[in-house]
Structure 1
């Protein structure tokens, strides 16, 4: 499917073997200690030292280039999802209720393959390389945010990461330039009213009625406060109230998510949801308690890094392999790296019968025919950046 220049069949077969190992032994966010131990074992075999100053179970390794004028970071995420895998493939998860349902097993195996290749061809690597095997992409607190806080990007000139994508055709590689993925923040709301008899609503402060106003008002933030050119979404995912036909409950709790495709939009929506909660509830004689849960910022693919990556893709795989993509309202904690440093997040297509199910589905699988392109692309980015 993909013609590679540097990656041979032996390395491809080895990588697929590693990917299947990770797939059979998944670990949830923040619990990837066995995965980390396995990664460290392989890096030791390659003679690549692990930097011990970063928090576990993250694994950070450094490769010294022949010139060392530039330092390029490459990232893979290691965590799995709380899903029970379905299907009959020979490498099914051996951990009940946990599976690699997003391709992180492939990302980890791919970055290990890049490290293995560099250990075998050290004279070809001029740049210093930082290998980031990151914990906790799927959960909060974010592993990327923690590593940035610990100084992972100090001295780094650019950072690149890939994601095998089931909605991008196998044989295509692409990304959106600029804002490519949305922020993802959550909120909890408690409306504290005054319970009472449903037949005497005038003696109560009905939190359910107030909740309906709050739901409507939140949508006005997107339609009337947010710049129409900046995409945004506010969705309520849960509401808990009373459980009786004729009792107005004392309180209502609500949960939801905020997605924005710009930094400005995210800040605006976060502020407005808090303000409306307090003011609308107060106008009805209730108390509104708003709890903001920080998630990830918008993912911004830097234009200069995108232009470089596009050139690498076309030179390596052919002009027709590159596929420009539209921004999406999904989120990725890789955004924390790009908030600090120049870089890009690149989607490697794998849409096929094998990967017919979407990410986070119990029958999700990674089409391993995409793996050679992932290895080759990360090597070429690191060598030529």
Structure 2
């Protein structure tokens, strides 16, 4: 029996445990940087296994599990995140979140479950492959600065040749695996803007410096950054998502605050959006005689799938299409952002999408929705695809060829 077949057999035999783990994690979600019990659960899973484990890696509860094969070879990283979101669950499932206001609404419970079982199965077969596999159980993907950046900066992955990850998406059909070549997910910047004016009586606006009107003008003006100044061939989004201006009927407030996000698929749009934002802020200061404090934070980079690794994976997945999964596709890039981008900035690799649409629904609830659900059949597909990829790369990649 070939090594891949042995691995797949183990994964199939453990599928029920994989689902049980996912449901346990789903019932016990923890927010970013607060995942102490989840981290303990993961550490306990590897406690009696023949691996090297490092905990508290990076700026939180990150865990690295190092599996050494029978001989020298490439070093490949596989990553799954394990934090949840501040969402009150509305999904009608028997394993609903027990933590009020916290929910695994992005599928990180599924990611962790399949990587745990895949890791265990690879450990059991470690005398049959050469090289090293590093499992990355990552904390805090959802909240900037995230966990990935600090893990990369820790130096623990300086020896990685390649790195791979998967995200489940219920908006993609069950049985489908998608690979976006090149830029796959947008980079992200977030901003807070405080506009300070001079308050007064609503019936005497001429004696005030109206921060609310200045804020309203800023929202309108900011829309022209994309529509009139951004290259129309570039994928960019600028959204003002909050406007806090409380007050009474006859009171003009001293100050208002706004919040929003910028997304960009091309890295060179990062600076352009910031410089354009500064100009928009300056214009309302001049026009309305107000003072502005702009806090603009560069967040996750563009997630870029490396060309050489995309070609390798496409060959692997196309050969397996119709076996353990139904369809291989090259979908459009997603406008969401991912801190997996930090790994790919330094290490060649690919971030895949696996379809997880629940059965019997025409339109599924997307990630980050309170009724988000995952088709649990997707867990085995995730484990098999990532397992097939890592075994193929360990066998066919020259040591050091990826991380040049």
* Shorter-chain TM-score tier: over 0.9
SS at match of 2:342: helix
Equivalent residue number for residue 168 of structure 1: 172
Equivalent residue number for residue 402 of structure 2: none
1:30 to 20, 28, 33: 33
**Structure 1's 87 and 234: CA in aligned 2 closer, same or farther, altered over 3 A?**
closer
Equivalent residue number for residue 237 of structure 1: 241
Which whole-Å CA distance do the structure 2 matches of 1:242 and 1:38 have between them?
44
Task: Give the CA RMSD over aligned residues.
Answer: 2.0
Aligned-pair distance for 1:135? 0.2
Aligned-pair distance for 1:116? 0.8
Which whole-Å CA distance do the structure 2 matches of 1:362 and 1:175 have between them?
27
1:152-196 alpha-carbon deviations (Å, 9 max, x no partner): 331111110001110111111002211111122211111122223
Report whether the alignment pairs 1:85 with 2:89: yes
**Structure 1's 310 and 295: CA in aligned 2 closer, same or farther, altered over 3 A?**
same
2:194 to 190, 196, 201: 190
2:137 to 123, 133, 139: 133
Alignment of 1:8-47 (within 5 A): 8=9, 9-47=12-50
Alignment of 1:90-105 (within 5 A): 90-105=94-109
Equivalent residue number for residue 337 of structure 2: 331
Aligned-pair distance for 1:53? 7.1
Report whether the alignment pairs 1:382 with 2:390: yes
**Which 5+ residue runs of structure 1 have no aligned equivalent?**
none
Contact 2:358 2:373 in 1 (8 A): no
**Structure 1's 228 and 351: CA in aligned 2 closer, same or farther, altered over 3 A?**
same
Alignment of 1:234-313 (within 5 A): 234-313=238-317
SS at match of 2:14: helix
Aligned-pair distance for 1:141? 2.5
Which whole-Å CA distance do the structure 2 matches of 1:149 and 1:256 have between them?
28
What TM-score comes out, normalization by structure 2 length?
0.89
SS at match of 1:156: coil
**Which 5+ residue runs of structure 2 have no aligned equivalent?**
394-404
Report whether the alignment pairs 1:59 with 2:60: no
Contact 1:242 1:248 in 2 (8 A): no
Which whole-Å CA distance do the structure 1 matches of 2:206 and 2:321 have between them?
71
Equivalent residue number for residue 371 of structure 1: 379
Count of residue pairs the alignment pairs up: 382
